[in-house]
Structure 1
Amino acid sequence: MMELKAALTPYINLTSWTATNPCAAWWLITCWTNGLVRRMDISSKAIQGNLPSVIGNLTSLDEFFATTNWLQGPLPDSFSQLTAIKNLQLFKNYFEGPIPASWGNMKNLVQLHLNLNYFSGGLPDTFSQLTNMQKFYVSSNMLNTSFPTVVCTMKNLRELRLSYNRFTGSVPSCLSSLSYLYYLYIDTNQLTGSLPATIGSLPALQNLFINQNSLNGPLPPTITKLTNLRILFMSSNPYLDGPLPSDLGNMVSLTDFVMEFAAFNGTIPDSITKLTRLSRILLDNCRFTGSIPQGISNLNALTVLYLEGNRFHGSFPAGLLTLPKLNLLNLHDNQFSGPLPSGFLNSTIVTAGQINIHHNYFNGPATVVAGISPYCPKDQTRNGVFYQSSLAYNCVKYSSTSACALAPRIETQLSPTTCQAFCGADVAPCGGHGTCWFGIGRSVSCDCDPGYVPTLDGLSCVADTTGVVV
């Protein structure tokens, strides 16, 4: 211990580490009843340089923490002598080089946290001896081999985090052997191939993150067997395609369903309306078609619905306006059409949330509540009106009144040219001689055509006969 004290003294005041003090009095140390060191925590002490190899002499060590320091260089082979250790955490340092094969000797390890470093290479085959491992974190490194199938031998794994590396190859079918696994994070790698059907053989799985890879093909139908799955992230796999499974509704525990930026197509299965725990649905920037299932209005836990950048059609789903927790709704860049529904103006999503429905084919009058200028609620305060809403590039008719000048949070862009190009509607904002902007964070104003100037209230355009604003 005195040798270790000498290595750490430049960074930590270890005056309590003396031969005359009992082990229980030493700072950062916990001891067994026989006086041997059981636990050491030197995290967040700004320690630099290599990890002292003499730590490997503490063969009674059960837990060791050296996280969030400036430690660097390779990992010491001497740690392989810590055959009793169960919890080893070295995350958020500057370690580099390969993970030592000798570390497979630490057969009692239950937790190993090596994330947020600069390790390269792969996982040693000797890690097949770590059969007691329950939490294995190596995310945010520079590991660059094919998918490390050695993890399939860790039969007691509960959490596996391999994210933010450079692993290649396909997702192995042997993962199905990890029957206790409840967190699987393999996102942000360079994985290819299709998702194996055996993914549905993980009965305990709760979180599945496979986003930001290059997987391809359709989802295996077996994925709907993951009835305990809460969070599913498969976004940013541009080659994943095919329809969503028709029995999606079997995944009754889902709260987050994030499949955006892929090539999924077909319609949203009606069975999605059975997923009453859903809080977030992100299906944007795919190739979905058809209409939104009517029963989606029964998803009372829903807070976020992103369907932008698809080919959905039909009328505005009026049921969305009744969802009590919905505060982010994005339907832009689809093929929705028809008038906005009655009650649109006073709905919670409009008055207190964020809504974006631009680049569709909505038309008809926007007046929803008698006596109120369309899109200008009675409450004009920052906390009571549109937070960030866009209805640009549609053909909704509205009345420009001075009351709107105090509503800075809804963004629309309407011009005769735009609307005629979209649906041939006879819409004439700004007196038919300009583009009316309800800019987020600024007052309503008209961008008048050449030869026209805005009126004093900025809400209409008139011929410029005098060269001054009228």
Structure 2
Amino acid sequence: MVSNSSLLRLVQLQRLNLADNNFNFSQIPSEFSRLSRLTYLNLSNSLFSGNIPSKFSDLSKLTSLDFSYNSSLHLRSLKDLVQNLTGLKDLRLRYVQISSPVPEILSNLSGLTTLYLVGNGFYGEFPVGIFKLPKLQDHRVTFNEDLTGSLPEFCFSSPLKILWLWDTAFSGKLPASIGNLDSLKELYIGVGNFWGSTPPSIGNLTRLTTLLSGSIPDSFGNLTQLTHLGLSQNFIRILDLRFNKLQALPQIPPPATTVYLVANNMIQEQIPSQICSLSSLSSIDLSNNKFRGILPDCLRNFSSSLSILNLRGNIFHGVIPQLCAKGSIIKMIDLSQNQFTGILPRSLSNCGMLEILNLGSNQLKDVFPSWLGTLPELSVLILRHNGFQGVVGSPTTMFEAPKLHILDLSANKFTGFFMHEYYPYSMVITNKGQETIYSKIIEALAIIDLSSNEFITEIPEFIGSLNGFQLLNLSKNNLTGHIPISLGNLTTLECLDISQNKLSGQVPWQLTQLIFLASFNVSHNQLTGPIPYGKQFNTFDTSSFDGNLGLCGYPLSKKCENLEPAALPTSNIEEDQDSWFHIEFDWIIVLMGYGSGGLVIGVVVGIIVLKKNQHWFRTWKRQLC
């Protein structure tokens, strides 16, 4: 630091930057005020203390003045400081102790582009004329709790880019003309006493990257550049920010929020612990982001209000916390496609109203949770792509859940299924106060997909007696024996894939009766003889039959010597009626799974009611076939 006497010799000095030094002056040297040619003066964050000399107002050529972050520095009168600084463009007074009204004279600084009045102890009415300064671009007036004011009508010519007014006593209604600030990038105004809805004109601010403002209008979707959103201390109940480009989690919503949806963004952070302060949340959807870290234990506290928890498609890790206390009303929990480890929290058995539990694609290691069979409303249970092991529980535990529709167990380490047992299952249905026991209900199997497993067996003949199939995929296993002729009875079949096995014998001509068959694949087996001809079989190309050296006939180039296919031996279907495929469930058992290319890896067992005109099912069929 130069001495005071040295300063007097620097009369030609135009810029002086002493920021971020450890000068511990008891006061700012008054000699600074004699540097009459000075245009830039930065004394921020330098441990100055005492009062700012009034003679600084003599620095009439100053265009930039910064006293910020000298919390022991005091200014008796901002008016006296700036009254002669008519060329000032940049004034920064963050955390300088002033404790006075904001002087009206600031409205006369027509060249002002940057104004930081932060944590100064200002009080009284803020001069509205400051908002209308013709060159003001960065206006930050925050942490002045006793400073009152309101927003003016803004004109189109305003160059304002940043407007911060949080933690003040500003109030009133947001003017529709705020949409005229087409250069605005950051807006923080929602922490005061503003009332009414956010005007639709907010959607005009297409350059906006940061918002903190009242309720969300429909035009909010126009803010395609928005990356930061703060909404604290408002009265928003439903906050839906899905399918945007947010990179940071919006500030924790106000206590009245019940629905909190920020799915399908680009948020990369942990769930802040402050979320635990929200007591009325009914829906949380943070899916398809890049959230990381562990889940807060306080999620259990939402049991009495939360009905939907969707954290699918993130990078959460660690063990799943105890999510359900007794009396929980939660209906859906989706934690799939994360990195959770450990075992399932046994508190899930308290989720008496749970309908959907999706824990697929994690790193969980546990035995089959047969104890979930006690949940009366459970309809979908997905555990695929984890490290579950052992034997799937017996039917008495598996099917205690009376509404179970889909049970997905694919890509785990299970060693057996209950369905290898015979178990005559019945069900009691209460209708209009009358209980009826149903001991037999016709199966309506629609999909069987066991592809990409290690089944070493024959295809059971009786499978053809279970009509109603639309998709049957047994590819990529070690199946042996013949193709059952009973498959020709599956008249509703649209997709049949038994490729990449060790099947032998001929392709049954009875399969030509499957008039709805659109996709057919028996490639890479050990099949022999002529390929059946006619109807749908005329539409299949060579890829359906590749890798079977003994096959001949259309569409292959290899001609057949004997065009009469030999009849395949039939098995005694009646004797198979007691096999596991004819367990008398009043369920619709579906074996299916998912994998790359729309085909299946592993086994999914489930129950599903299908209607041929359902859109989702049509889409699913296109993926599988």
TM-score in terms of structure 1 length: 0.65
Equivalent residue for 1:358?
523
* 1:135 maps to which of 292, 295, 308: 308
Equivalent residue for 2:273?
101
RMSD: 3.9
Take 1:195 and 1:9, find their aligned partners in 2: how far apart are those partners? 58
Give the gaps of 5 or more residues in structure 2.
Answer: 1-149, 152-164, 167-173, 203-212, 428-439, 561-625
Take 2:559 and 2:359, find their aligned partners in 1: how far apart are those partners? 45
- 2:374 counterpart of 1:197: no
Kindly indicate whether the alpha-carbon contact (under 8 Å) linking 1:102 and 1:126 is maintained by their aligned counterparts in 2.
no
Kindly indicate whether the alpha-carbon contact (under 8 Å) linking 1:332 and 1:360 is maintained by their aligned counterparts in 2.
yes
Kindly indicate whether the alpha-carbon contact (under 8 Å) linking 1:229 and 1:251 is maintained by their aligned counterparts in 2.
no
- 2:381 counterpart of 1:208: yes
Q: CA deviation at 1:396?
A: 4.6
Q: CA deviation at 1:414?
A: 10
Kindly indicate whether the alpha-carbon contact (under 8 Å) linking 1:355 and 1:388 is maintained by their aligned counterparts in 2.
no
SS of the aligned residue for 2:407 comes to: strand
- 2:406 counterpart of 1:242: no
- 1:22-62 residue CA offsets vs partner (Å, 9 max, x unmatched): 94793399xxxxxx97766645631423222xx1111x321
Equivalent residue for 1:65?
240
- Letter aligned with residue 276 of structure 2: G
* 1:332 maps to which of 485, 496, 499: 499
SS of the aligned residue for 1:319 comes to: helix
Q: CA deviation at 1:250?
A: 5.0
* 2:545 maps to which of 391, 403, 413: 391
Q: CA deviation at 1:74?
A: 4.4
- Letter aligned with residue 328 of structure 1: C
Equivalent residue for 2:329?
156
Take 2:364 and 2:324, find their aligned partners in 1: how far apart are those partners? 16
| Residues 397-436 of structure 1 mapped to structure 2, 5 A cutoff | 397-399=551-553, 404=554, 407=555
Kindly indicate whether the alpha-carbon contact (under 8 Å) linking 1:224 and 1:251 is maintained by their aligned counterparts in 2.
no
- 1:409-454 residue CA offsets vs partner (Å, 9 max, x unmatched): xx68899xxxxxxxxxxxxxxxxxxxxxxxxxxxxxxxxxxxxxxx
Q: CA deviation at 1:338?
A: 3.1
Equivalent residue for 1:32?
none
Take 1:378 and 1:139, find their aligned partners in 2: how far apart are those partners? 45
SS of the aligned residue for 1:217 comes to: strand
Give the gaps of 5 or more residues in structure 1.
Answer: 30-35, 253-272, 367-373, 416-470
Judged with a 3 Å threshold, the aligned counterparts in structure 2 of structure 1 residues 375 and 297 are, in CA distance, closer, same or farther, namely closer
Take 1:186 and 1:94, find their aligned partners in 2: how far apart are those partners? 22
Take 2:346 and 2:558, find their aligned partners in 1: how far apart are those partners? 51
Judged with a 3 Å threshold, the aligned counterparts in structure 2 of structure 1 residues 24 and 250 are, in CA distance, closer, same or farther, namely farther
Equivalent residue for 2:169?
none
- 1:357-399 residue CA offsets vs partner (Å, 9 max, x unmatched): 2343433x42xxxxxxx5553789xxx6126852334465534
Q: CA deviation at 1:154?
A: 7.9
SS of the aligned residue for 1:167 comes to: strand
Judged with a 3 Å threshold, the aligned counterparts in structure 2 of structure 1 residues 413 and 284 are, in CA distance, closer, same or farther, namely farther
* 2:405 maps to which of 230, 233, 251: 230
Kindly indicate whether the alpha-carbon contact (under 8 Å) linking 2:518 and 2:536 is maintained by their aligned counterparts in 1.
no
Kindly indicate whether the alpha-carbon contact (under 8 Å) linking 2:515 and 2:536 is maintained by their aligned counterparts in 1.
no
Judged with a 3 Å threshold, the aligned counterparts in structure 2 of structure 1 residues 378 and 128 are, in CA distance, closer, same or farther, namely closer
Kindly indicate whether the alpha-carbon contact (under 8 Å) linking 2:318 and 2:340 is maintained by their aligned counterparts in 1.
yes
Take 1:164 and 1:46, find their aligned partners in 2: how far apart are those partners? 27
- Letter aligned with residue 415 of structure 2: D
Kindly indicate whether the alpha-carbon contact (under 8 Å) linking 1:173 and 1:197 is maintained by their aligned counterparts in 2.
no
- 2:534 counterpart of 1:377: yes
Report the count of equivalent residues: 355
Q: CA deviation at 1:196?
A: 2.0
Judged with a 3 Å threshold, the aligned counterparts in structure 2 of structure 1 residues 217 and 392 are, in CA distance, closer, same or farther, namely same
- Letter aligned with residue 240 of structure 1: F
* 1:49 maps to which of 200, 223, 227: 227
Take 1:276 and 1:227, find their aligned partners in 2: how far apart are those partners? 16
Q: Percent identity?
A: 23
- Letter aligned with residue 243 of structure 2: T
- Letter aligned with residue 87 of structure 1: V
Equivalent residue for 1:145?
318
Kindly indicate whether the alpha-carbon contact (under 8 Å) linking 1:289 and 1:311 is maintained by their aligned counterparts in 2.
yes
- Letter aligned with residue 208 of structure 1: L
Take 2:330 and 2:443, find their aligned partners in 1: how far apart are those partners? 30
Take 2:402 and 2:466, find their aligned partners in 1: how far apart are those partners? 18
- 2:344 counterpart of 1:168: no
Judged with a 3 Å threshold, the aligned counterparts in structure 2 of structure 1 residues 290 and 120 are, in CA distance, closer, same or farther, namely same
Equivalent residue for 1:122?
294
- 1:68-97 residue CA offsets vs partner (Å, 9 max, x unmatched): 2222224424x3xx2222111111122222
Take 1:396 and 1:311, find their aligned partners in 2: how far apart are those partners? 19
Take 2:444 and 2:184, find their aligned partners in 1: how far apart are those partners? 49
Q: CA deviation at 1:173?
A: 2.8
Equivalent residue for 1:348?
515
SS of the aligned residue for 1:241 comes to: strand
Kindly indicate whether the alpha-carbon contact (under 8 Å) linking 1:43 and 1:65 is maintained by their aligned counterparts in 2.
no
